[in-house]
Amino acid sequence: MSHPTTTTLTTSYTTLDSPLGELLLVGEESPTAPGGTALTSLSMPHQRGAATVQPHWRRDPRPFTEAVRQLRAYFTGELTRFDLEYRTSGTEFQERVWQALEAVPYGTTTTYGRLAEALGVRRAEVRALGAAIGANPLLILRPCHRVIGADGTMRGYAAGVERKTALLTHEGALQPTLV
């Protein structure tokens, strides 16, 4: 009698200093991803629902070389679209929403209502759409910061509205404010 084998994927992580604070990048082994690791999470300090380093995770910056290169290029204004492999484990609805975020172009914003319409989400389900956006495990990479209120307000962001504003200003979607 044969027993099914369980494959345990190695989870690796690294950190990256950024203009928004120290980013935590987490990934799992993937033979098709650059560096052999598909990103499962990118989070910021004090982010609601952020990943936390687990004892069985391995700290190793090597698998994240390409992700770090692309993030640095993003923060210097040289990159406007990421080309990385992701592996997330949301519900079917969450995954649809997260993938739709990738279609919102750099330097632009959309509203919760327009995103709901594009996904065929009924008005009664817009709150669920907002919850899915708030649960996005790949901040910056899947640009949930580009979704704003219909009145132009910065509605919620798991890492704080100040960071959302900073990202949109960096991308040119908002004008810098004079203080």
By annotation, the residues acting in catalysis are 144
Whether the CB-CB separation of 61 and 68 falls below 8 Å is answered with yes
Query: What is the rounded distance in angstroms from the CA atom of residue 1 to the CA atom of residue 165?
Result: 59
Query: What is the rounded distance in angstroms from the CA atom of residue 167 to the CA atom of residue 146?
Result: 9
**DSSP-derived secondary structure for 112-164:** HHHHHHHHT--GGGHHHHHHHHHT-SBTTTS-GGGEE-TTS-----TT-HHHH
CA angle (23 as vertex; 22, 29 as ends), nearest 5: 140
User: Smallest Cα–Cα separation from 148: which of 168, 169, 121?
Assistant: 168
